[in-house]
Amino acid sequence: MKAKITAMLPGLIVASVVGIALVAVSPHRADAAAKSDTKKSQSDTKKKSDTSNKKDTKDSSASSKSQKTTQKSTAAKNYTYTAQSGDSYTLFARKAIEAYAQQQKLTISQNRIIYAETNLTIAAGSPYLNLGQQQTLSAATVKSWVTKATNLSDAQAALWNVYVPTVNFDVSHVGQAG
């Protein structure tokens, strides 16, 4: 089976095999991105810790109730889909991103959706799905990649335009029982 390279971006190669898009990220770029995300995560954790240490602890029961409510509402926003014939993790990511945008009343351009779904899928390890397999995408992860996508510069977002004509953005059939 021959693969045809359809696009190359810095650190990203997209090839197609019989109409199926394959994405490869150079290991060096992936390692750099992972290190960057780890540093940012550590920095964010430290900031949250510093902030929480400064808070007044007089009303700990109210704070506890607030945290429980937040956890419940976050859990309710996760996106769970069941794999059907033709589904992929990327399609689940696309559907979750579009559902999140609709819930938040956001308008996200198609090139930015592709950026978010691609990176969300890569961050998840590009997992294969079995028929009938349930897959849950965390609301926090979806939100994070949508935020990153909306924060792209116009020039960065334009690099993803090459993929737009080849993507079907109708995800109404994805993750649905047949």
* Predicted pLDDT of residue 125: 95
pTM above threshold 0.95: no
Higher model confidence: residue 83 or residue 11? 83
Distance CA 178, CA 164 (A): 27
The CA distance from 65 to 62, in Å, is 5
Q: Which residue has the higher pLDDT, 31 or 169?
A: 169
Q: Quote the DSSP letter at residue 16.
A: E
pLDDT tens, 88-123? 999 999 999 999 999 999 999 999 999 999 999 999
pLDDT at site 41: 44
- 49 CB-near residues (< 8 Å, 6+ apart): none
| Tokens 């991103």 found at | 97
User: Which pLDDT score, from 0 to 100, does residue 85 have?
Assistant: 93
Percent helix / strand / coil, the chain, rounded to 5: 55, 15, 30
Name the one residue in this structure whose structure tokens are 């992972």. Answer: 34
CA 163 – CA 152 distance, rounded (Å): 16
Of 60 and 89, which is predicted with more confidence? 89
Per residue in 125-178, pLDDT (tens digit) is 999 999 999 999 999 999 999 999 999 999 999 999 999 999 999 999 999 755
Question: Which has more confidence, 113 or 48?
Answer: 113
Query: What's the rounded Cα separation, in Å, for the pair 169 and 155?
Result: 22
For CA atoms 131, 167, 25, 125, the dihedral sign is negative
State residue 34 phi and psi, 5-degree precision.
Answer: -65, -40
Residue 19 — very low, low, confident or very high, per pLDDT cuts 50/70/90? very low
pLDDT of residue 132: 94
pLDDT reported for residue 116: 97
Residue 35: strand, helix, or coil: helix
Choose between 159 and 4: higher pLDDT.
159
